[in-house]
């Protein structure tokens, strides 16, 4: 049960766009459209931002978008704002355990 692979860090200036990648295998990301993304601020519980690759839960700004190509999913944050600075985790359904697996997380810094 290997974790999905994310870059440890990403950054952008206010107003810019940043994309975070999440690479899995044909046993998880590549075979299922059940990729989700979570935002976690320090000391807080995670919050789902994207599910089913590209769907946004109610209340999540449309600045957040998701996509997938092959074994790699991506989260794009457009029009970066200071409050977007947080850790972001991807997750996917996984054949290996018939449930889920997380990525290692990406720390997003708003410069």
Give the residues lining the site for another protein (CB under 8 A). Answer: 1, 3, 32, 34, 36, 38, 40, 45-48, 51-52, 57, 87, 89, 91, 93, 97-105
Q: State the minimum distance, in angstroms, from the CB of residue 38 to another protein.
A: 7
Structural contact between residues 5 and 20, judged by C-beta atoms closer than 8 angstroms? no
Taking the C-alpha atoms of residue 62 and residue 8, their distance in angstroms, rounded to an integer, is 24
Torsion, CA 59, CA 32, CA 6, CA 23, rounded to 10: -150
Q: Which is nearer to another protein, 13 or 59 (CB)?
A: 59
Q: State the minimum distance, in angstroms, from the CB of residue 72 to another protein.
A: 18
């Amino acid at each position: 049960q290997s974790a999905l692979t994310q870059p440890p860090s990403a950054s952008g200036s206010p107003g810019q766009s940043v994309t975070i990648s999440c690479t899995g295998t044909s046993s998880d990301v590549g075979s299922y459209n059940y990729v989700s993304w979570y935002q976690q601020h320090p000391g807080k519980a995670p919050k789902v931002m994207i599910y089913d690759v590209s769907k946004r839960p109610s209340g999540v700004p449309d600045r957040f978008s998701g996509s997938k190509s092959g074994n790699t999913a991506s989260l794009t944050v457009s029009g970066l704002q200071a409050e977007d600075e947080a850790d972001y985790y991807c997750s996917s359904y996984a054949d290996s355990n018939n449930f889920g697996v997380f990525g290692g997380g990406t720390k997003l810094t708003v410069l």
